[in-house]
Amino acid sequence: MRFDFDAQKSKRLRANPKRGIGFEEAQEIFKHPYYLDQRSDMPEQDRAIGWVGEKLYPLIFEVRKITTESTTTS
């Protein structure tokens, strides 16, 4: 799975005492068993709940499909 995120927003989240982790750390949730359910239909969002270190965190995310443009050569 590839993760794309705003590095500045991640830094702000890490500095926020209510959050305490950035997007880089949140990726650890997917390295261990986690709970997954759908949070919203519009836009389609999922929620994963899992461990980062010794703390349990919820993570709201969107899965986006990567589209590639076909190229032609002459």
Contact 33, 49 (CB under 8 A): no
Contact 13, 19 (CB under 8 A): yes
- Rounded CA gap, 13 and 60, in Å? 14
Q: What is the pLDDT of residues 6-18, one digit of tens each?
A: 899 999 999 999 8
With a threshold of 0.85, does the pTM exceed it? no
Answer yes or no: is 33 within a domain: yes
Answer yes or no: is 48 within a domain: yes
Answer yes or no: is 23 within a domain: yes
Domain that holds residue 40: 17-61
Average confidence (pLDDT) over 39-58: 89
* Portion of the chain with pLDDT greater than 70, in percent: 89
> Which amino acid is located at 69 in the chain?
E
> Which amino acid is located at 10 in the chain?
S
Contact 15, 33 (CB under 8 A): no
Answer yes or no: is 7 within a domain: no
At residue 71, the pLDDT reads 46
Q: For the chain, what is the domain count?
A: 1
Answer yes or no: is 70 within a domain: no
Answer yes or no: is 11 within a domain: no
At residue 16, the pLDDT reads 92
Q: What is the pLDDT of residues 28-44, one digit of tens each?
A: 999 988 999 888 788 88
Which DSSP category does 22 fall into? -
Answer yes or no: is 3 within a domain: no
